[in-house]
Amino acid sequence: MTVIQVSVGPTHHSDEPTTHHHLRNLPHRPTNPRYTVTRRQLDILRLIANGHTTTATARRLGISYNTVTSQVASIHRKLRVSDRAQAVAVALRLGLLNMDDVTVPDGANSSYRTTPEGAL
């Protein structure tokens, strides 16, 4: 795995030697994640994007809870994200998922802006 160093702390502005305690190694995001995220992982991402829990995803795909958990962790590593919402957002941005993969639940935002504009 190739790594890059990213500064995550305050910068050092003196002429003294710099310590690297404020650097951490991050894996490179794949050049084309379509070739590294598996078909099964994309299936899991689609279900996550539609609000399925780990248990519901396992049942729907006929795999174990632990397998889903492991696959979600792998997706997080590959996309360099820390949670499911960010995984879905990055997958959409990278074109791994498209908006047609996400369904809008019935009644979503049904009460959004039901009051006249300017009325409080």
Among the CATH numbers 3.40.50.720, 1.10.10.10, 3.20.20.370, 1.10.150.120, which is that of 33-98? 1.10.10.10
Q: What is the pLDDT of residue 11?
A: 45
| pLDDT attached to residue 109 | 78
Q: pTM score > 0.85 for this model?
A: no
The ranges assigned to domains in the chain are 33-98
Which pLDDT belongs to residue 6?
39
The pLDDT value recorded for residue 112 is 64
pLDDT for position 28:
55
Average confidence (pLDDT) per 10 residues, the chain, 120 residues: 41 49 51 77 96 97 97 94 95 93 84 60
Long-range CB contact pairs, 94-103, < 8 A, 24+: 94/33, 94/34, 95/34, 96/33, 96/34, 96/37, 96/42, 96/45, 97/42, 97/45, 97/46, 97/49, 101/46, 101/49, 101/50, 102/49, 102/50, 103/50
